[in-house]
Amino acid sequence: MKKEPSVSVWNKFWNSKKDMSKVYPSSPSVLKAILSMGSVKGLKILEVGAGTGRDSLELAKAGAKVFILDYSEESLKIAGELATQAPENLSLVQGNAFNSPFPDETFDIVFHQGLAEHFKDPLPLLKENARLLKKGGFCLCDVPQTFHLYTVMKHVLIALDKWFAGWETQFTMPQLKKLMKSAGLEVVHSYGDWMRPNLVYRIIREIGFKLGLELPKYPLQGTLYQRQKDKLLDFVSYCNISNYTQVCIGVIGRRV
């Protein structure tokens, strides 16, 4: 049976991402969902397993007091470079997401993306997130969605022992909501998003890098076609059925 990725796996992964201008940011829906809850100015926010920490930087710029918790030194190095843009509002902490070094009821918001799917039992992670929340605080969990080409490709690569993280799972929206409720959180919002640009283009772009060819990061950006396509995807995302076609989904739970 494949193992969960270790800290050495993540250090190797983030060490390979030297040029962040070539690395796609996380789903824009994560930051959008957090900001839709209202002003973050003055709030204490924790991002767990932040990767590059780009969303944390934007929240710090918006006036929140943001902490990044990660056990990967290489990830924190990348986030540290960004932190210089908001030195008073963004703090980096190396630690374990399942036993974080913060007291109970410390944060107004705890969030993570691309994290819960790397653990065979993510419930203790969500329970730890809930412990850290003030009463009435919010936890956002964003994960890969089950019914997508990404899932098929991922499991083929896992079977061939070629997946970068070694092992990973995925969730349907009902499964994710059930997980949040099991952690003692009241589900108050859910969302999903498609990968933009799509997965096929990103794969082609990665192949191009290996061949010494750099394709545009966002092809057709600003064109009428792309604007109309984005409007259509945003409209369809309001339909519940879309959560079974999107590459990633997220749920916001509130500590009651």
The residue-averaged pLDDT of 163-176 equals 95
Kindly state whether residues 212 and 180 are assigned to the same domain. Answer: no
Query: Does 147 lie in the same domain as 53?
Result: yes
**Between residues 234 and 81, which one has the greater pLDDT?**
81
| Global pTM value | 0.91
Q: Determine, yes or no, domain membership for 241.
A: no
The rounded percent of the chain whose pLDDT value lies above 70 is 98
**Residue 57 CB neighbour total at 10 angstroms:** 22
Give the pLDDT band of residue 208 (cuts 50, 70, 90): very high
pLDDT digits (tens, 9 = 90+) for 38-69: 999 999 999 999 988 999 999 999 999 999 99
Q: Are residues 52 and 122 both part of a single domain? A: yes
Nearest Cα neighbor of 78 from 60, 56, 98 is: 56
The domain of 207 spans 195-236
Q: Give mean pLDDT, residues 210-239.
A: 85
Are residue 67 and residue 169 in the same domain, yes or no?
A: yes
pLDDT value of position 1: 61
Q: How far apart are CA 23 and CA 81, in angstroms?
A: 15
pLDDT attached to residue 124:
98
pLDDT of residue 233: 79
Above 80 in pLDDT, residue 197?
A: yes
In eight-state DSSP terms, residue 171 is B
Residues 175 and 48 placed together within one structural domain of the fold: yes
Parallel, antiparallel, or unpaired: how do β-strands 65-70 and 248-255 relate? unpaired
121 and 154: one domain?
Answer: yes
| Same domain membership, residue 117 and residue 101 | yes
